[in-house]
Amino acid sequence: MSAWCFTSVVWRSGFQRYVLPRNIPHTSYVSNKIFGNQPLAYPCLAQTRSIKILLSKPEVESKVLAVCSAFDKIQSDKLTLDSSFIKDLGLDSLDHIEVIMEIENEFRFEISDVDAEKLHTPRDIVEHVYHSIKKAEPSN
């Protein structure tokens, strides 16, 4: 579906205040409204537009720890970069998936299932996100 067609679908659906620029191919909020799913609170750009700003490793660490500490099943006093989600923090596999999804929402990119299975600690997530940022960095 072209961006123009998508924009006109949004317009015809009565979501005039959510009209998208023609160069954005997809947002979760609008597709969820069109396809009848529960809408998200904010638009998430597709993976092609994932990481727009370059963060330093300490910034990534603080964001990851903030996301993890905001998760209601993680006790902040037990949380460190080297805490195992399952062993140290007592999360089950579904809780682990929820944490990974929150990380995806925070950094606006998708973590594959294969990679998500390897992310056992916040430090693993930091390394994965930081390397993804480095890959997305434009070469000079």
Vertex 68, ends 29 and 32: CA angle to 5°?
Answer: 10
From 53, 51, 11, select the one nearest 34 (Cα to Cα).
11
Structure tokens given for 120: 């056992």
Separation in Å, CA 109 to CA 13, 103, 122: 27, 9, 17
Active-site residue among 92, 95, 113, 124?
92
Q: Which DSSP state fits 22? A: T
From 43, 42, 44, 102, select the one nearest 72 (Cα to Cα).
102
Give the HSE-up count for residue 123: Cα atoms under 13 Å, Cβ half-sphere: 5
First to last CA, the chain: 33
| Catalytic (active site) residue 92 | yes
Active-site positions? 92
